[in-house]
Amino acid sequence: MDAEARVGLVTRNTVEVLTPEEVRGLFARSERPRAYIGFEPSGRLTVAHLITARKIRDLVDASLDVTVFLADWHAWINDKLGGDLARIEAAGRYMEGGFTALGVDPARVTFRWAHELTGRAEYWARVVRVAKATSLARAKRAMSIMGRDEDESNLDAAKLFYPAMQAADIFELPVDLAYGGMDQRRAHVLAREVAHHYGWPVPTAIHTPLLSSLKGGGRMDPTEGSVERKMSKSDPATSIPLPATREEIDRRIAAAFCPAKEVDGNPIVEAVRWIAFPWEGRFAVDRSSAHGGPVAFDRAEGFEEAWRAGHLHPQDVKRAVAEVLDRLIAPTREFFARHPELGPASFGAPPATI
């Protein structure tokens, strides 16, 4: 595979690349650039993670050396799962299993834990250096990555470690390319700023979109720290967890916010663009003959044109999205049926029913 084809795999289905020229430079300098994505093990995976799994597979197919970083200490600092490290680690093992089921091959991807770094004095020296190069106001702005209001008056001091730790992770692993959803943008930009300050290698960054909540409403401007509208593990009604039964998928999709002809903030339309097309390369809607009969699209733009024009009914599109999600989620059902010890119950997650 030539360099431009590799660049295409890395950058496709993203909403931001910092910067395309830097991605090309990675392949000019190294046959196997190092990439990473970090996750707090804090609850169930959702259908939004299908976007992530697809992009991880793109990075692997582009011959990057990919690390999936299970940030257990970060989840502890952020009070996830009651701050219980045993539950957090169980959630990390569940996440590893879920991504494996979605085709993130452990033979081609390295899963690592934050506690592998936090036991080293060199890591904490890096954290201090990052903090020394970051104003308190800048650190508090970056704390929006934690899903918290930077102005909370009762914030405990440990939360202030978080932005410096996340930036330090990038340099200590180390990686050339940082990947995440748009909610990770501030952390990645902070790492780039710190790298310029010290003359360290500047990490390239790519970002995929955040899916809107199935309930609709709220603001979504990740560059400003506003992500109220995104699907959330902490509010089950906003998303579909993994694994989910076909009945659960149908029920949640049927109840989802999906205003006709509207694209922005429409979780069903976003699922078509960011899940159906990247995974399957097409999207088919099985309509009755009275409503125009079956129709298929091989480009997201073609689907959205038909949607905006009112040629597709929300209920027809919802049924088609449920079919796609059921196919893509099925491997997670099969995996956790074989490995119940790794399932959501291992960290105390409630059943997926509404």
- Residues of the chain with pLDDT > 70, as a percent, come to 90
Burial 40-69 (b: 16+ CB within 10 A, else e): bbbbbbbbbbbbbbbbbbbbbebbbbbbbb
CA–CA dist 267, 194 (Å, integer):
35
pLDDT band at 351 (very low <50, low <70, confident <90, very high): low
The residue written with tokens 């893509």 in the block is: 328
223 DSSP 8-state letter: G
- CB neighbour list of residue 278: distance below 8 Å, 6 or more residues apart: 12, 13, 51, 54
**What are the domain boundaries of the chain?**
3-208, 227-347
β-pairing, 16-18 with 34-39? unpaired
pLDDT band at 255 (very low <50, low <70, confident <90, very high): very high
**Per-residue pLDDT tens over the stretch 143-201:** 755 555 545 556 788 999 999 999 999 999 999 999 999 999 999 999 999 999 999 99
**CA triplet 97, 102, 105: central angle to 5 degrees?**
70
CATH number for the domain formed by residue range(s) 227-347: 1.10.240.10
The residue written with tokens 């106001």 in the block is: 137
Q: What is the pLDDT of residue 289?
A: 86
The dihedral of CA 165, 171, 175, 181: what is its sign?
positive
Question: Could you say which architecture CATH assigns to the domain 3-208?
Answer: 3-Layer(aba) Sandwich (3.40)
- What residues pair up with 180 in beta bridges, in sequence order? 207
**Per-residue pLDDT tens over the stretch 141-155:** 887 555 555 455 567
CA–CA dist 98, 207 (Å, integer):
21
Q: What is the pLDDT of residue 354?
A: 47
**Per-residue pLDDT tens over the stretch 222-248:** 555 545 566 766 566 789 999 999 999
